[in-house]
């Protein structure tokens, strides 16, 4: 094996991507496969772990690596996926049901409330929401006992694929933070087995065999069967999995304290890095901790605070469908024919409820301020501004300062009107990487660090280039400050009505 190339695979909400990177950090080849997220009931979102997760990983490996014996030149690989997700895995290593997805899946409301009450009675500082793993594990136990009885492990997206590749069931320290309070920030122990045993339902036995590992270390080697599936070399090093957002942040150069990733995907997601853990078992959750997720990040001494919105790209797609807009070029043209402030129209973009900082799965979308003179352009402009107000609401709750460095990533960075609107609304610059492949590139970077090609992620990210910097336009500061206040007032005023409508 010459070891000239590094392979990264990422499984997203609506597509999977793969990339090959050379020894200098340059992209050699990339590929993408689209898929559909199942929505079997309102509030339920699922993926077929075998067909979409592992199956598309295999297809991407073959598309990228089976031409010209490239498979023999891959030195290491790493994967990431949407998360945190929950898939029960049987003793044969196969998924027992469709995977339950991350925060957009709101089925475990009852378990969230019960766990919150239980932790309060026990004096355990914990804030649960649809992004938390434990409520979904308990939902599975309570609602599908026949599946639970057959469950040997609980896995996430990257963890399931990594297990299929190298036979090691692991979760990296970043994703493990979503299992709190089963996993405490910075703990030397993988799991708090005492707490899990107190919780009952024999959860501990399903997690005990899942190792918590650093995010840039080799966890195993490609098995004979996985080599046959993928066309790669048996024995090739496999680096730890992680959640897609963390890998995406890495691909944009988010490697230092004060760096903030704004991910424009199907949903919005934000990661702010620091060198301070800030929260632990002995402390009560502060205002920020109640609304975001603290975790160890990808390298030693790094910590992160994350938040997310339930809709972003999905809302843009919905707007384009409703308004019969065929392309981002047409979207930009139509939006620019209105004005900042959308001629008095204000939008709430809650097509699937909201996460940070509201955590209300029953919020609904709508428009206020429409008149007989309101145009398609005003509706579109108001919708994009509604998304931007949601981003600002999340970032403010995360206490992101004026000195933060924002990096914009994801497919939504092609929507330049939305990027400009977010900068106008937040008052913050955004740096847009020249290479927009995203999380799969971040995984290739982690693979290279894992086998020692680079000393750490900042060393390789220093070679990244940026295509654009989006700067806020000060002339719109007053109008957006005013409308942001109205946006929050309208959300509060319609919250109960949304619940009654649902």
Judged by DSSP in three states, 412 sits in helix
For strands 74-81 and 242-243, give the pairing.
parallel
Instruction: Categorize the per-residue pLDDT at 438 as very low, low, confident or very high, splitting at 50, 70 and 90.
Output: confident
CA–CA gap between residue 295 and residue 280 (Å, rounded): 10
Mean pLDDT of the chain: 91
Domain 5-247, second-level architecture: 2-Layer Sandwich (3.30)
Beta carbons of 149 and 91 less than 8 angstroms apart: no
291 vs 312, higher pLDDT: 312
Q: 70 phi and psi, to 5 degrees? A: -65, -30
158: closest CA among 307, 308, 6, 10?
10
Q: Is the pLDDT of residue 139 over 70?
A: yes
User: What is the average per-residue pLDDT within 112-122?
Assistant: 91
Greatest mean pLDDT among 117-131, 191-205, 214-228 lies in 214-228
Instruction: Categorize the per-residue pLDDT at 208 as very low, low, confident or very high, splitting at 50, 70 and 90.
Output: confident
User: Tokens 């910097």 identify what position?
Assistant: 469
CA–CA gap between residue 418 and residue 381 (Å, rounded): 9
Which range (151-165, 216-230, 265-279, 446-460) has the least confidence? 265-279
Query: Which residue intervals of 3-100 are DSSP H helices?
Result: 55-65
**pTM over cut 0.85:** no
| Spans of all domains in the chain | 5-247
416: closest CA among 312, 331, 353?
331
463: closest CA among 22, 77, 24, 17?
24
3-state secondary structure 464-499: CCEEEEECCCHHHHHHHHHHHHHHHHHHHHHHHHHH
- How many CA atoms does the CB half-sphere of 381 hold within 13 Å? 21
- Residue 283's pLDDT is 38
Judged by DSSP in three states, 268 sits in strand
Instruction: Categorize the per-residue pLDDT at 306 as very low, low, confident or very high, splitting at 50, 70 and 90.
Output: confident
- Residue 201's pLDDT is 67
């Amino acid at each position: 094996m010459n070891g000239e190339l590094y392979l990264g695979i990422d499984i997203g909400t609506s597509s999977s991507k793969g990339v090959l990177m050379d020894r200098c950090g340059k992209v050699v080849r990339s590929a993408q496969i689209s898929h559909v997220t199942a929505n079997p009931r309102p509030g339920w979102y699922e993926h077929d772990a075998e067909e979409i997760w592992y199956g598309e990983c295999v297809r991407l490996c073959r598309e990228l690596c089976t031409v010209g014996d490239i498979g023999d030149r891959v030195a290491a690989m790493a994967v990431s996926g949407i998360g945190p997700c929950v898939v029960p895995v049987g003793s044969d290593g196969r998924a027992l049901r469709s995977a339950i997805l991350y925060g957009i899946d709101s089925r475990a409301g009852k378990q969230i409330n019960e766990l919150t009450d239980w932790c309060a009675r026990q004096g355990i500082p914990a804030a649960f929401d649809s992004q938390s793993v434990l409520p979904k594990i308990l939902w599975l136990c309570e609602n599908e006992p026949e599946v639970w009885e057959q469950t040997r492990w609980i896995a996430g997206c990257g963890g399931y694929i990594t297990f299929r590749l190298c036979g090691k069931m692991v979760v990296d320290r970043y994703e493990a933070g979503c299992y709190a309070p089963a996993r405490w920030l910075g703990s030397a122990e993988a799991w708090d087995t005492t707490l899990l045993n107190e919780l009952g339902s024999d959860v501990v036995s399903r997690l005990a065999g899942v190792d918590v590992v650093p995010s840039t270390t080799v966890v195993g080697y490609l098995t004979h069967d996985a080599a046959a599936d993928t066309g790669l070399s048996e024995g090739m090093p496999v680096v730890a999995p992680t959640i897609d957002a963390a890998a995406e942040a890495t691909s944009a150069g988010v490697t230092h304290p004060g760096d903030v990733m704004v991910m424009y995907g199907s949903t919005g997601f934000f990661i702010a890095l620091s060198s301070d853990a800030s929260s632990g078992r002995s402390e009560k959750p502060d205002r920020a901790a109640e609304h975001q997720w603290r975790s160890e990040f990808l390298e030693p001494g790094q910590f992160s605070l994350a938040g997310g919105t339930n809709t972003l790209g999905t809302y843009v797609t919905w707007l384009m469908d409703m308004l019969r807009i065929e392309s981002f070029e047409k979207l930009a043209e139509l939006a620019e024919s209105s004005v900042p402030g959308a001629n008095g129209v204000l939008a709430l973009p809650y097509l699937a409820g909201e996460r940070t900082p509201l955590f209300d799965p029953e919020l609904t979308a709508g428009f206020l301020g429409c008149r007989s003179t309101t145009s398609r352009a005003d509706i579109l402009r108001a919708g994009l501004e509604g998304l931007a107000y949601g981003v600002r609401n999340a970032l403010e709750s995360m206490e992101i300062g004026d000195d933060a460095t924002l990096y914009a990533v994801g497919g939504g960075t092609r929507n330049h009107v939305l990027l400009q609107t977010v900068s106008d609304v937040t008052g913050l610059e955004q740096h847009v990487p020249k290479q927009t492949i995203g999380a799969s590139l971040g995984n290739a970077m982690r693979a290279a660090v894992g086998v020692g090609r680079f000393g750490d992620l900042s060393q390789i990210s220093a070679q990244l280039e940026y295509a654009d910097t989006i700067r806020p336009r000060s002339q719109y500061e007053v109008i957006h400050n005013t409308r942001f206040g109205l946006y929050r007032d309208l959300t509060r005023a319609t919250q109960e009505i949304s619940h009654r409508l649902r």
